[in-house]
Amino acid sequence: MILDYLKVGPLDVNCSILVCPNSNEAIVIDPGGNEEDILARIAALDARVKLILITHSHFDHVIAGARLKKETGAPVCLPKKDRGVWRLMGLQFKLAKIEGKKPPHIDRFLKEGEKVSVGSLSLEVIHTPGHSPGGCAFYMKDENLIFAGDSLYRDSVGNWQVPFGNFEDLVRTLHDKFMTLPDNTRVIPGHGEETTIGREREHNPFLKPGRIEELREAERTRPGTFRMLLAMLLPKFFSLKSAKK
């Protein structure tokens, strides 16, 4: 298997390109922007993209999705349980001031435990809620490799303090889904440097004894999704109203 990845878009998302060495068929994960760079990398690899996977419904992971789909004809797949948040993708593009682009149409929804295959590439869908309700990681057991989305990073974890984030779900995801994998599993996160499960088990400050309990205590006073959305949207509403006057 050939794996290449590049940082793309306004939030430096890791966009991965996986190529089957027998057929040159490929999978792209999280096309978060910089369409020309992604297409150039695909051409350099002489790859034919057959599938586009999105780890979760946040705008920064899909900015180049529509263009990539148009250029390659590959279907776009999203975790089924993130379908609700996907309905707000147009709003996310607006709030992030992503102009002249639209989110891609989703062709296929993915479920926990499902396998997606292209050529000799086979990835298992692992539901990893917490940062978003339906977010998924893509696991290649035979390759000791996981694409973690925004759930686990080198020395950090996904932000649960976002609309529809959930701290307890994230804790379960980290302990039940990631920390049960072998230490030598290579982790390609949604942002930042790659790592391994063993390294994070040993060094990640969020996985140290007692840290979860401290954070759980702080969670008691955190505003919920409804209040967070109000805080984001109300200033925009009032600025629109005053602009009309």
Residues that bind Fe ion (CB under 5 A): 58, 150
CA 167 to chain CA mean position, Å: 17
Q: How near is the Cβ of 161 to Fe ion at its closest, in Å?
A: 12
Whole-number Å distance between alpha carbons of 65 and 101: 10
Closest residue to bound Fe ion by CB:
58
Helix (H) or strand (E) holding 196: strand 195-196
Looking at the Cβ atoms of 119 and 158, the one nearer to Fe ion is 158
Question: Closer CB to Fe ion, residue 35 or residue 150?
Answer: 150
Min. distance of Cβ 40 from Fe ion in angstroms? 25
Phi then psi dihedrals of residue 222, to 5 deg: -80, 140
Residues 72 and 31: their CA atoms lie apart, in Å, by 13
CB 52 within 8 A of CB 28: yes
Which CB sits closer to Fe ion, 56 or 69? 56
Closest Cα partner for 136 from 145, 214, 146, 31?
A: 146
Closer CB to Fe ion, 9 or 119, in the complex: 9
Q: Which CB, 163 or 198, lies closer to Fe ion?
A: 163
Nearest approach in angstroms of CB 209 to Fe ion is 27
Shortest distance in whole angstroms from residue 176 CB to Fe ion = 20
**Closest distance to Fe ion from the beta carbon of 59 (Å):** 9
Task: Give dist(CA 94, CA 79) in Å, integer.
Answer: 22
